[in-house]
């Protein structure tokens, strides 16, 4: 079985503390291939830590990568909805941090 290719959108506390270690713990099943964070320094630091090749400040560049199967959305609450919708439109599976949006 081929590895699931993962993108990380928002690479702060919860991404580096939970999402990324989780993916990294299953190297035979998945691989983090790109990180997007509006703070490029945070993205680069996470990329160094988890050996990720590609970093972007605009998550739409990450979503344009065809090989990415699934994304973690680990941005602040107000920035969950739009990346989630955009990722789904791009055909990605989405794992979104809670809450999914600011209201129903
Ligand atoms: N930290 C925790 O223990 C924890 C636990 C449960 C849930 N969460 C949830 O996880 C989410 C993130 O929390 P955190 O503590 O990791 O916050 P954080 O501030 O540490 O990290 C969020 C990151 O997202 C980036 N970002 C902001 N807007 C962005 C955008 N539009 N596109 C790409 N990147 C963007 C920020 O630059 C930052 O690096 C929140 O919804 C929070 O409720 C956090």
Structural domains of the chain sorted by starting position, each given as residue range(s) with its CATH number in brackets: 4-96 (3.40.50.720)
What are 41's two structure tokens?
């320094």
Q: What is the per-residue pLDDT for 1?
A: 72
| 43 closest CA partner among 76, 7, 87, 77 | 7
Rounded distance between C-alpha atoms, residue 54 and residue 45, angstroms? 12
What are 72's two structure tokens?
């973690």
Q: Is the pTM of this model over 0.95?
A: yes
Q: Ligand 1 center to residue 10 CA distance, Å?
A: 6
Contact 45, 60 (CB under 8 A): no
Q: Ligand 1 center to residue 40 CA distance, Å?
A: 14
Average pLDDT per 10 consecutive residues for the chain, totaling 104 residues: 94 98 98 98 98 98 98 98 98 97 93
Q: What is the per-residue pLDDT for 39?
A: 98
Q: Which atom from ligand 1 is nearest to the alpha carbon of 77?
A: 41
Task: Give the residue, by CA position, lying nearest to ligand 1 atom 2.
Answer: 14
Q: Which atom from ligand 1 is nearest to the alpha carbon of 15?
A: 16
Task: Give the residue, by CA position, lying nearest to ligand 1 atom 39.
Answer: 12
- How far from 40 is each of 43, 47, 81, 88, CA to CA, in Å? 5, 10, 21, 24
Task: Give the residue, by CA position, lying nearest to ligand 1 atom 6.
Answer: 14
């Amino acid at each position: 079985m081929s590895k699931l290719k993962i993108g990380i959108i928002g690479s702060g506390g919860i991404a580096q503390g939970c999402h990324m270690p989780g993916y990294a713990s299953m190297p035979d099943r998945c691989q983090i291939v790109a990180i997007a964070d509006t703070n490029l320094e945070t993205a680069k630091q996470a990329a160094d830590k988890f050996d990720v090749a590609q970093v972007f400040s605009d998550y739409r560049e990450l979503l344009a990568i065809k090989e990415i199967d699934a994304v973690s959305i680990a941005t602040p609450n107000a920035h969950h909805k739009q990346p989630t919708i955009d990722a789904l439109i791009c055909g990605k599976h989405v794992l979104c941090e809670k809450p999914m949006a600011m209201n129903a």
